[in-house]
Structure 1
Amino acid sequence: MVGILDDLVELGISHLYLSPVLTAMPGSQHGYDWVPPARLSAVLGGLDGFRLLRGLARAVGIGVLIDIVPNHVGIRDARHNPWWADVLRFGADSEYAGYFDLHPVQVDGIDQVILLPYLGRDDDLAELTLDDDGYLHLHEWVMATAPGSASPGDDPTVVLERQHYRFTSSSDAFLGYRRFLDINELAVLRTEIAQVFDATHGWLRELVAEDLIDGVRVDHLDGLADPPTYLARLRSLIGPERLIYVEKGLAVDEELDPRLPINGTTGYEQLQLIEAAFTAPPGIIELDEIYRWVTGFHGDDQRLAVAARQLREETMRSSFSTRLRWASQAVSAVAPSVPPYLVEQAVAAFIVPLTVNRPDYPQARETVLEVIEHARAALPGADAGFDALRTVFSHPDDHPEAAFRVSDLASVVSTKAIENVGFHRTARLISAQELGCNPRRPTVSRSMFHERNRQRAAVWPLSLTAISTHDTKRSGDVRARIAVIAQVPQRWHILVRSLWRLTPPPHERTAYLLLQNIVGTWPADGIPDAALAQRLAAYTTKAMREAAVITSWAEPNIAAEQETLDWVAGLLTGEPATQISAFVDLIAGPGRDEALARTAIALLGPGVADIYQGSQWWFDALTDPDNRRPVDYGQCHDHPKFVLISQALALRRRHPEAFGRTGTYLALIGRGERRRHLLAFARGEKGQPPVVVVVAARMTQTFRTGADRAEAAVDLPAGRWRDVQTDAVHSGFVRADHLLGDRSVAILERAADE
């Protein structure tokens, strides 16, 4: 990191934005499986290395933000997690038992047994071994044993029977601990307890005391039992001036509670807005017809809504039956006279159609109560269960355990069913299948685009704006190219029909999703090399297993996977490759144009842009681990994207008030028959004339250089405006061909004499 500081200074960034820095499970590539006691990772340089980084970064004017993970710890190998090892040794009597969200049960007459979801198949226990240090090993899992319960040479299955835990399948309805989503090796912590908060945040307090950080990103806020209380404690710990950003799922129409003591989210809601603004509405209609022809499935709003509800139900029952049980038990405690089965029916019926990510936030209350009543109407036999549920969410502060358990269930079902599974099962236009996005609503009107930006500038002026992150399904550049398909749906249809004749796919719906990813990453000047072919193969396997239609992580169908892998490989050579290259040649230019326009909006619109590593150049990444490949920081600084970013960030530095807490957002009026191709806005300081104007072209496949652009214009604010790229000066009513030329975005600054 220290070695690239000069490059980052030239780019103009304000802060380094670091992934988790704590000691994690050995070999961890991401750090989200950190282990106690919380301490800076020696592999990353430890405290001394962090101090050095802070000092050198500060010397060149760059701050430091860090990613913190309060929700969970890694438990795969108990030898490296002393808290979890103690729980395994002593069960409910462990001094750390209260640190975890444990749910022991009775097994064979033995109370307080913790069920561990580590069995993949019935004969797994045949592979259980015991080492000389008294640890049980099952595949990648390492478990501590109770004192005196294991000696070298003992039968490991007999040793297992002496423990405070047993093994079960992850699909069992009686799991012994709450997990991060359905990931067995990440156990949730009870950070809502003051003692646990202190034990997991002492290291952070030390960094603050030395002034080594400028802010934090809170991972998976919705996984915490009491997010507002947690954030209040965190704000008290780091002080009023340091930044707090939260990874928080928001539905398209859902607003972040303005009372939270934070600076905003990690920016997926703004990603959605920008994505929708660059997606052509007429093309979506045609793409729905093409998708139905190819797959037999509808991709339109109502059909996707039905599919989403079915998938949420399926996911809740298959992956989160334990959480459904916990939620139902908690609601039953509020209404003990109601039969438990009616409560469970009501809870399940409520979760399935829910649109907000977590229903216990105050701003969601009206929507949540409406969903309860709609669910009641569809299931009148569970009326008493819905009464209990309504009691909980009418007064969630009086019933915190029940409100949390139902909300936790809702959050994990939404994330798993829609983002992890659903986004790999449908494929009308996959650029709209991204974190924060809703493929049912892939477009947005210009008026709504401006209104949402105006609100963001007023309420969350420092919130982050994401384009590409370590979690996005596709990088912003790949999505920008794929979105152009909606501008040329007929040409796309011709390509798909031709490829399907040349090389019929083994599974049409999967193939249609894969083809869009292939087109999105296809080289603009040739055919895929061996490295890209390997990346596409790895993505193909992951996408198929995530969708869990023809194969899955739990039950891989190797033969079916190989058929699709062979089909993908067949597209990369010969006539199929020639046809794909021709189509990419049609859309690659507009895709890059719109990637630049999107970047300018992210940088100069309301909020603070998150520039993901490597995305200062063209960045053709797919989902992780593809988007976490090493970055070549030796790339050219004259690259058009690098130059655009550096110019925009320099502009922000010259006008900090316009982009700070008192910044304003003004929509600019487009004129002419082709005005729908322009997105234009001005930024300034409250009570002052604007000082920056951004004019971006969208749907550029049909808005190329020349006559088309003469039919669109924009009214600039009063004064003279200098183009930061060309130095041309404009004022008043300006045609797009004069303002943009052959570019996709113009950034204007109020001329000095104004």
Structure 2
Amino acid sequence: MSAAPSSTYRLQLGPGCTFADVSELAEYLDLLGAGAVYASPVLQAAPGSTHGYDVADATRVSESLGGEEQRRLLAERLRKLGMGLVVDVVPNHMGVAKAEANAWWWDVLTRGRESLYAKYFDIDWGRGPVLIPVLGDDSAEDDLRVEGDRLVYFEHVFPIAPGTGEGSARDVHARQHYRLVSWRRASAELTYRRFFDINELAAVRVEDPEVFEAAHAELLRWVAAGEVTGLRIDHPDGLTEPGEYMRRLRAAAPDAWLVVEKILAPEEELPPSWPVDGTTGYEALREVCGLFIDSKGEAAVTALAAEAGVPVSVHEVEHGCKRAAANVMLLAEVRRIARLLRVENAEAAVAELLAAFPVYRSYLPEGDGHLQVALDAARRARPELAESITAIGEQMRAEPESELTQRVQQTSAMVMAKGVEDTAGYRLTRFAALNEVGGAFDRFGVGVEEFHAKWSARQAGWPRTMTTLSTHDTKRSEDVRARLAVLSEIPEEFAAAVRRWSARRALPEPTLNLLAWQTLVGAWPIDEERLGGYLAKAAKEAKLRTTWVDADAEFDEQVQQWVRDVLADTELRADVERLLERVRVPGWSNSLGQKLFQLAGPGVPDVYQGTELWDYSLVDPDNRRPVDFDARRNLLRRLDAGWLPDLDELGSAKLLVTARTLRLRRDRPELFESYRAMRAEGVAARHAVAFARSNDLVAVSTRLPLGLNASGGWGDTRLPLFDGTWTDVITGRAVDSRAPLLADLLSPYPVALLVRESNA
């Protein structure tokens, strides 16, 4: 069995965070209690990359991050501290934005099907030259020019095959193994599979053993040397054979901790045949955040949305968005599948089936039930296509390893991601705290019993899976969601505020208007650049009034003017801040509860960079901003000198909870080997949630703090404990009573982490 870290700390490497920078941070992260550094991709990315997911050369480490020497120095530094290194792996695609930076892609464009790397990429060679969608329009061929052995279009450079460079640029272009075409043709006509609808990321065929070896040799060399202790696999659903890939990777790295970025539906499980330690934890995110949402607020929240013209039929919106993703954004992929079929209306049948999947992907023969659900739903939605849809299902089941089956499964994940995560999530804006990667927009929170059942099952089935609250892909940070959760306790008050604000200054599109007010509350204080950037992205992702492909400049300017007007309106700002006074402190309570439960609960908790203090970031690139580690380092020193901070804007209380819990996990792992629900007793018992990780460790948090205060506080409510002497490791205070009063236990902080010292 692989050695899982006690916890991880996620760092976004790039120009502002190199290997040398991480080496300097290592002492702080060790002091914080992190068991491993969890880094974004570190192989050589496309020139100018800020994130590393566009790997252009899988055979060497990134030069911009410091190259091989700095990588080795970082590995040695972490080893001396007893910390692991988890690296993000991108097996599904490579960056081809600058063709000359990717030697494999360059050779394919140069030599076509004769290239040694022709099989490395998922190219439909039967449809002629590789289409490269970079031209402003098809008439832009007039802007091509020949420079030596290269064909140039503005900043884009492409190879000229040997012996084909004579004549005009148009003549030379016509002789190549590729065709430069209008970028508008990509969605419907592209001849290579992409990462979702991103033309600059070309899919790689790692199911081929030769390609696997070439793409992983350098990473596996680091694993064999003990310099990398864990691998995080990006987007496994894009792979042709995810299970086979996992088995091959496990065989090559038997001792590595291995987790996959697999987004699971609420009742979905990882395929049991995958030899991995778990997921990257989005399902835990949904459960932890949902625990602090008041389900009693759903009716009023839904009523406000309906009144405001925001759609509330989750299934209807999600299905429509998935169907649009299949018919528009991913039409090239749908047509490639349809060409494998001999049925009437193949293209329409494929699109409808893809839009009907209840999960990102089924894995045949495992997951056949998900395929059946999709088949039934597709036939109900389009009865005139029922015969063709049935034929697709029959063929997939008869040949589970066929190209048809593989491409349907790959593409259903793309349709789900683009349709739900990247479109419906920006249209179903009745309550933004729900709209998260791995979220369930139709489930208004998570009840206490469901929470305990899920976490007990995680301990039993996947004790080494990663858990998370914030990532580089989340739509809003954990602290934004924690503050928004408070609104579920006062939905009528929030609805009245939205009506006042909208009457004064409303955005012209209802779903964006409701999202904007929630964002303003959740991320306050926020400046014009951040709020304007977020709403510009949200509007284009929703694809209602403007899109990335066909922007409405007038509407886009209206959105930005709204931001300027709202932030300059002193009376409106004062009204917003009055509501903030209601939710700020309860939001901090929710934040600490979320953090404690994630860090103390089953699995391997990940802390996203900077979130050990309050962090009110929104979707990327906002959540990739530089982190002030000097401030965090100085605060941690003060905490270690005995300072117990107030629960205030500084966020030191969150740093205290984070450090004390992470250190305990690392230093006393035997305390975290089981899971048991604990029950408070008394008048306010419903406002306390607690669990034991062993007979000697109990975590407890306040739930629904506004309701608690409105009902008069904790009163006589107690938490029965096992016999012995207990200490709250967060405050350092002794807890003498066998059933302490929660009024005493949950003060000055709304959380406690209790350790029984009698057996220490």
Q: TM-score, normalised by structure 2?
A: 0.91
Partner residue, 1:266? 280
- Determine the C-alpha separation between the residues in 2 that align with 1:491 and 1:533: 26
- Aligned match for 2:698, one of 685, 693, 700: 693
**Once the 2 structures are TM-superposed, how far is the Cα of residue 105 of structure 1 from its aligned partner?**
4.7
Kindly indicate whether the alpha-carbon contact (under 8 Å) linking 1:485 and 1:587 is maintained by their aligned counterparts in 2.
yes
Residue of structure 1 equivalent to 2:163: 148
Q: How many angstroms apart in 1 are the aligned matches of 2:548 and 2:140?
A: 16
Considering Cα pairs closer than 8 Å and 6+ residues apart, tell me whether 1 or 2 has the greater RCO: 2
Is there any run of 5+ residues in structure 1 with no aligned partner, and where? 107-111, 333-338, 685-689
1:359 lines up with 2:362 in the alignment = yes
What is the SS of the residue equivalent to 1:23?
strand
| Cα offset, 1:753, TM superposition | 5.4
Q: 1:323 aligns with which of 315, 328, 333?
A: 333
CA distance in 2 between counterparts of 1:492 and 1:732 reads 41
Task: Say which SS state the counterpart of residue 671 (structure 1) adopts.
Answer: coil
Q: Residue 190 of structure 2: SS of its match in structure 1?
A: coil
Whether 2:559 is the aligned partner of 1:553: answer no
Structure 1 residues 316 and 443, CA, compared in 2 at 3 Å: closer, same or farther?
same
* Aligned AA (1:340): V
CA distance in 2, matches of 1:470, 1:63: 20
The alignment status of 1:193 with 2:230, answered yes or no, reads no
2:343 to 334, 340, 345: 340
User: Is this contact kept in 2: 1:283–1:487, CA < 8 A?
Assistant: yes
Query: Matches of 1:626 and 1:546 in 2, distance apart?
Result: 16
CA contact 1:329–1:340 (8 Å) conserved in 2: no
In structure 2, relative to structure 1, the CA distance for the partners of 1:710 and 1:128 (3 Å cut) is farther
Distance 1:370 1:533, change over 3 A: closer
1:128 partnered with 2:144: yes
In 1, distance between residues paired with 2:99 and 2:495? 54
Partner residue in 1 for 2:80:
59
Rounded to whole Å, the distance in 1 between the matches of 2:736 and 2:310 is 50
Query: Match for residue 251 of structure 1?
Result: 265
* Aligned equivalent of 1:582: 578
Residues 181-330 of structure 1 aligned to structure 2 (within 5 Å): 181-239=196-254, 241-294=255-308, 296-299=309-312, 303-330=313-340
- Name whichever of 260-269 and 124-133 sits farther off: 124-133
Residue 449 (structure 1) shift: 0.7
State the partner residue of 2:177.
164
- The 3 A distance-change label for structure 1 pair 141 and 552 is farther
Structure 1, 120-129 or 667-676: larger mean CA deviation: 120-129
Instruction: Give the AA of the match of 2:367.
Output: A
Output the CA distance in 2 between the equivalents of 1:519 and 1:271.
21
1:246 CA displacement? 0.6
Do residues 604 (structure 1) and 606 (structure 2) align?
no
Residue 427 of structure 1: how far off its partner (Å) = 0.8
Deviation at 1:341, TM superposition (A): 2.6
Alignment partner, residue 702 of structure 1: 707
Q: Cα RMSD over matched residues?
A: 2.0
Counterpart of 2:752 (choices 722, 727, 746) is: 746
- Alignment partner of 1:665 is 2:678: no
Within a 5 Å distance, the mapping from 1:270-669 to structure 2 comes to: 270-294=284-308, 296-299=309-312, 303-330=313-340, 332=341, 339-360=342-363, 362-395=365-398, 397=400, 399-523=401-525, 528=526, 532-573=527-568, 574-635=570-631, 636-637=635-636, 638=639, 639-659=652-672, 663-669=673-679
Q: CA deviation at 1:382?
A: 3.5
1:39 counterpart SS class: strand
SS of the residue aligned with 1:413? Answer: helix
- My pick for the range that moved more, 645-654 or 721-730, is 721-730
For 1:418 and 1:21, the matched residues in 2 are separated by 29
Write the letter of the residue equivalent to 2:420. I
Question: Which residues of structure 2 form unaligned runs of 5+?
Answer: 1-21, 640-651
Deviation at 1:208, TM superposition (A): 2.3
Residues 105 and 114 of structure 1 are in contact (CA less than 8 Å); yes or no, is this contact kept in structure 2?
no
Q: Aligned AA for 1:727?
A: R
Contact 2:688 2:702 in 1 (8 A): yes
**Residue 132 of structure 2 corresponds to residue 116 of structure 1:** yes
Question: Which range moves more in the overlay, 36-45 or 304-313?
Answer: 36-45
Q: Secondary structure at the match of 2:529?
A: helix
Q: CA deviation at 1:282?
A: 1.2
CA distance in 2, matches of 1:456, 1:362: 24
The alignment-based identity, stated in percent, is 34
- Decide whether aligned partners of structure 1 residues 439 and 730 sit closer, same or farther in structure 2, where only a CA change above 3 A counts: farther
The change in CA–CA distance for 1:382 and 1:261 in structure 2 (over 3 A counts) is same
Cα distance in 2, alignment partners of residues 370 and 508 from structure 1:
33
Greater Cα shift, 702-711 or 548-557: 702-711
Sort the Cα spacing of 1:393 and 1:665 in 2 relative to 1 into closer, same or farther, 3 A. Answer: farther
Give the SS at the match of 2:422.
helix
Contact 1:74 1:81 in 2 (8 A): yes
- Quick one: distance in 2 between partners of 1:131 and 1:485? 61
Taking a change above 3 Å as real, the CA distance of residues 683 and 205 of structure 1, as seen in their structure-2 partners, is same
Displacement of 1:378 after TM fit?
4.5
Residues 342 and 384 of structure 1 are in contact (CA less than 8 Å); yes or no, is this contact kept in structure 2? no
SS at match of 2:86: strand
Change in Cα spacing, 1:123 to 1:703, as seen in structure 2 (3 Å) is: farther
Task: Quote how far apart the aligned CAs of 1:150 are.
Answer: 2.7
Structure 2 residue identity aligned to 1:353: A
Residues 419 and 141 of structure 1: CA distance in aligned 2, closer, same or farther (over 3 Å): farther
- Structure 2 distance, partners of 1:488, 1:127, is 60
Distance in 2 separating the partners of 1:672 and 1:291: 36
Inter-partner Cα distance in structure 1 for 2:114 and 2:752: 65
The residue type paired with residue 252 of structure 2 is L
Structure 2: which amino acid aligns with 1:205? Answer: L
1:50 aligns with 2:78: no
**1:481 partner amino acid:** R
For the 8 Å contact 1:692–1:748, the answer to whether it is kept is: yes
Partner secondary structure for residue 573 of structure 2: helix
In 2: Cα distance, 1:713 partner to 1:307 partner = 45
Q: Tell me the equivalent position of 1:109.
A: none
Structure 2: which amino acid aligns with 1:243? W
CA distance in 2, matches of 1:310, 1:233: 38
C-alpha separation in 2, matches of 1:357 and 1:492? 34
Over residues 9-62 of structure 1, what are the superposed CA-to-partner deviations in whole Å (9 max), with x where a residue is unaligned? 221100011111111111110111111252011221222211111111111221
Q: What CA distance in whole angstroms lies between the structure 2 residues aligned with 1:576 and 1:362?
A: 57
Secondary structure class of the residue paired with 1:64: strand
For the Cα contact (< 8 Å) 1:222–1:249, is it kept in 2?
no
Q: Structure 1 748/161 Cα, relative in aligned 2: closer, same or farther at 3 Å?
A: same
Deviations 1:459-505 (A, max 9, x none): 11011111111111111111111121111112211211111122232
1:706-747 deviation line (CA, Å, top 9, x unaligned): 932226433323444221124231444343212212422111
The one-letter amino acid of 2:286's match is Q
Return the match for 2:111 from 82, 90, 115: 90
Q: 1:548 is matched by which residue type in structure 2?
A: K
